[in-house]
Amino acid sequence: MDIVVTIPKSEAKNTKKEDAFVEELGGDAVQFWSVHRKAKELNVGDRVYFVENGFVTCYHIFLGYVQDMVCEVTDRFWPGLNLLLRCPSVNLKNPVQKRGFQGFHYIERLE
């Protein structure tokens, strides 16, 4: 089952850097997203949607879980559990309004 997470405003610049990095590579990269616990109903191949500035704007395909990652783009260490996601993201044709929140929520498939 798909989930949705929120991009904090403090991470907006870093996500833009990561997007530019993936674009330079020509796509076909991975990204990770820190979470506090596993989403029990999230399976490989499901979508992880992102809320940005009050709208669900895009999603990544979930590839699995990884521990203790270092970002190649920002050089920051992300301890603990992380979602492993396929890049680049897929933009939604029609963004969906949704308030930001902490953690994750399960969501019905969009588009």
- Kindly list the domain boundaries of the chain, sorted by start residue: 3-106
The class that CATH gives domain 3-106 is: mainly beta
pTM, full prediction: 0.91
Q: pLDDT tens track of the chain, all 111 residues? A: 999 999 998 888 888 888 788 888 887 888 889 999 999 999 999 999 999 999 999 999 999 999 999 987 778 898 999 999 998 889 999 999 999 999 999 999 998
The pLDDT, as a whole number, for residue 54 is 95
- Residue written as token pair 């930001």: 100
What is the spatial distance between Cα 53 and Cα 26, in angstroms, rounded to a whole number?
A: 27
Secondary structure element (H or E) that encloses residue 94, with its range: strand 90-97
Confidence (pLDDT) at 83:
97
Q: Distance between CA atoms of 26 and 28, rounded to whole angstroms?
A: 7
